[in-house]
Amino acid sequence: MKSSRFFAYLQLMRPANIVTAMADILAGVAVAWFSLFSSEYGNIGEFIGVKIKTEGPASGVFQSIAEKYWKEFFVLEMNYLSILFLLLSTIGLYGGGVVFNDVFDAKLDAVERPERSIPSGRASLRGATILGSVLLIFGIGFAFLVSPLSGVVAILTAFCALLYNKIGKHQSWGPLNMGLCRGLNLFLGTTIFYPFLLSFFQFENYLKEENILIESSSIISGLQINTPSVDKWYICLIPIIYISAITSVSRGEVHGGSKRSFYIPFFLYGIVILSICVLAFISGTPLWQSLPFLVFFIYLIFPPLIRAYNDPQPRNIGLAVKAGVISLIVMDASIAAVFAGGIYGLIVLVLLPLSRFLAKYFAVT
């Protein structure tokens, strides 16, 4: 099977890594849906439902109208179809991005890594280019099915991936470029809120157009609507910093490195851990819900990095990079637990055994 052309093209897509990108989306969804409303009510439907029952003599009139048109404007539960589309989008974006990584590195890999799919002849350069292009288009298309904002973020993600593959990886700012791809991927997950806000404002306009006796502003007076992609933009810095650290380590994967080259990755890993701790502190979610994920994250990333630091040979560096990439799922689970609680964090963490299983058969770096 490993010698088949299908397997060769599948190798180009780095399936184990794609699973980690899916974890980014789920973490972004957690940030969006569980921080979208800051009120004593669990969701907007519960809030407005209470307001309808308690406000003014015309509340009965409004109640009947709201019940009639509510489903037309609002999705009271999480839109699982949108989550699926975003997951399919990141599969295309990440898969296409890493395929183009091998396309642009075909000549270099022929010298340094001749066993890879393209230099070994198991996959053609033309076929890989077509596959990468289809995957990127696939990813952008599914993002637009969620919202225009999601589509724009997907385009930016694809652009940053191609920029890194063609130019960035050979520049000093390459690690930052690669990190930006991951930050945008997490951001893509937060865009799930956009259709919901549109429906909210459509419903508000409907009330005004129908001259409803209870003004919409009084109904939502106690509700503060946040836009997670704006208010929580700084969360996207966490994967940017983390991936920058991993990319810095990976530069010694072929020829080895020096102990000095590990100082920045150690420092950046520390910033990531501290940042998640700060998020846990300010989010209001009990610390015990996110702390186990964070401890597990530390346990996974530091031992391989320390071994690579003590003996910076290509094999040890490769193992440190592999551990860092796979542990992205645990980092995302930590972030998800901060905003959505431990149960949601466990849902994200379920992706870890799948990624580790795939990593046994497909290269991660």
Of residues 57 and 116, more confidence is placed in: 116
Backbone angles phi, psi at 364, to 5 degrees: -95, -30
| Residue that the structure tokens 């990468």 belong to | 132
Helices (H), the chain: 5-12, 15-33, 44-54, 59-73, 80-104, 106-112, 125-146, 148-166, 174-190, 194-209, 216-219, 228-231, 237-250, 263-283, 287-310, 314-326, 328-340, 342-349, 351-359
State the pLDDT at residue 255. Answer: 64
State the pLDDT at residue 195. Answer: 66
Which helix H or strand E contains 38, and what residues bound it? strand 37-38
Asked whether the predicted pLDDT for residue 217 surpasses 50, the reply is no
Which whole number is the average pLDDT over 94-109? 93
Asked whether the predicted pLDDT for residue 44 surpasses 60, the reply is no
Domain range annotation of the chain: 5-359
Listed range (82-91, 233-242, 247-256) with the worst mean pLDDT: 247-256
Residue 201's CB: how many other CB atoms inside 10 A?
12
Q: Report whether 238 contacts 330 (CB < 8 A).
A: no
State the pLDDT at residue 135. Answer: 98
Question: With bands split at pLDDT 50, 70 and 90, how would you rate the model's confidence at 77?
Answer: very low
Of residues 78 and 280, more confidence is placed in: 280
Asked whether the predicted pLDDT for residue 214 surpasses 60, the reply is no
Token pair of 348, please?
Answer: 């994200």
CA distance 365 to 359: 10
CATH number of 5-359: 1.10.357.140
CA distance 75 to 80: 10
Of residues 232 and 112, more confidence is placed in: 112
Pick from 364, 357, 354: nearest CA to 19: 354
Sign of the torsion angle spanned by Cα atoms 350, 354, 357, 359: negative
Q: What is the pLDDT of residues 193-208, one digit of tens each?
A: 776 666 555 655 655 5
State the pLDDT at residue 175. Answer: 87
State the pLDDT at residue 239. Answer: 93
Token pair of 249, please?
Answer: 């380590």
Of residues 266 and 286, more confidence is placed in: 266
Listed range (99-108, 243-252, 292-301) with the worst mean pLDDT: 243-252
Which whole number is the average pLDDT over 333-342? 91
Q: What is the pLDDT of residues 3-43, one digit of tens each?
A: 678 889 999 999 999 999 999 999 999 888 766 544 343 44
Which whole number is the average pLDDT over 226-233? 56
Asked whether the predicted pLDDT for residue 289 surpasses 60, the reply is yes
CA dihedral 228, 268, 24, 252 (to 10 degrees): 150
Listed range (60-69, 94-103, 112-121) with the worst mean pLDDT: 60-69
Listed range (32-36, 80-84, 175-179) with the worst mean pLDDT: 32-36
State the pLDDT at residue 272. Answer: 95
For the chain, give the percent of residues with pLDDT over 70: 75
